[in-house]
């Protein structure tokens, strides 16, 4: 986390790996369009965690792209997430949400109540979308690049606990294996 020249706290971490990530995503053909397999994975992730919203998220230098998306309405548009902001859709600015932190940290992040953490409570998704809890894990592929994340969010506080942390990490590893099988032509 850094400060800008005017002394304001920047909520989005500096991401030095972004150019390598973009190259790797292009090699894999990921991060540019919705993917039915990732939508299905996001649906299963929501079922396993009991979360109303789940995403398979690839991040470049400027934005986040939800290649897989599950919402309570069962749609893949994201329009039922954040009625105040008119919905999120498949794209989100890089300075919104918590996945950019997970990618830079390269570690899972569990926020049972985002308002308990001053560093995260000021994120635009709190006021604009109403996010109150988050759980995400990085998708680190065989080349060592953090491609993005899988995550679940809720508009209510959620006691994810250690079980939630272990689940999100295991499911991230499962999706990375699926991506590797796809790359190897076995998918």
What token pair was written down for 15?
Answer: 């991401």
Is position 11 within any domain? no
Is position 131 within any domain? yes
Is position 10 within any domain? no
Number of domains in the chain: 1
**2-25: per-residue pLDDT in tens?**
433 434 344 678 899 999 999 999
Per-residue burial over 109-131, b if 16 or more Cβ lie within 10 Å, else e, is bbbbebeeeeebeebebbeebbb
Is position 83 within any domain? yes
Contact (Cβ atoms closer than 8 angstroms) between residue 39 and residue 70: yes
Average pLDDT over residues 56-64: 93
Measured in whole angstroms, the distance separating CA 58 from the mean position of its chain's CA atoms is 7
Separation of alpha carbons 147 and 30, rounded Å: 9
Task: State the residue range of the domain holding 117.
Answer: 18-180
Average pLDDT over residues 52-80: 84
* CA neighbor of 106 nearest in space, from 135, 133, 137: 137
Separation of alpha carbons 83 and 64, rounded Å: 19
What pLDDT score was predicted for residue 122?
81
What pLDDT score was predicted for residue 88?
55
pLDDT band with cut points at 50, 70 and 90 for residue 77 = low
* CA neighbor of 69 nearest in space, from 56, 84, 79: 56
Q: What CATH number does the domain containing 119 carry?
A: 3.30.450.40
The pTM (predicted TM-score) of the whole model is 0.86
User: Is the alpha carbon torsion for 39, 87, 17, 26 positive or negative?
Assistant: positive
Is position 13 within any domain? no
Is position 187 within any domain? no
Instruction: Indicate the helix (H) or strand (E) that contains 93.
Output: strand 91-93
Separation of alpha carbons 57 and 55, rounded Å: 6
Is position 1 within any domain? no
């Amino acid at each position: 986390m850094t400060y800008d020249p005017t002394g304001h706290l920047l909520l989005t971490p500096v991401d030095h790996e972004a150019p390598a990530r973009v190259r790797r995503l292009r090699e894999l053909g990921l991060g540019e369009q919705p993917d039915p397999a990732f939508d299905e994975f996001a649906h299963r992730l929501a079922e396993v965690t009991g979360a109303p919203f789940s995403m398979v998220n690839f991040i470049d230098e400027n934005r986040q792209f939800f290649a897989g998306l599950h919402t309570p309405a069962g749609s893949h548009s994201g329009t039922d997430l954040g009625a105040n902001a008119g919905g999120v859709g498949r794209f989100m600015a890089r300075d919104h949400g918590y996945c950019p932190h997970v990618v830079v940290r390269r570690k899972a992040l569990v926020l049972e109540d985002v308002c308990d953490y001053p560093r995260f409570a000021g994120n635009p998704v709190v006021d604009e979308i109403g996010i109150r809890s988050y759980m995400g894990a990085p998708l680190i592929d065989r080349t060592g690049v953090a491609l993005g994340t899988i995550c679940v969010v809720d508009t209510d506080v959620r006691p994810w606990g250690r079980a939630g942390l272990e689940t999100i990490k295991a499911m991230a590893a499962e999706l990375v294996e699926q991506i590797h099988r796809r790359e190897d032509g076995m998918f």
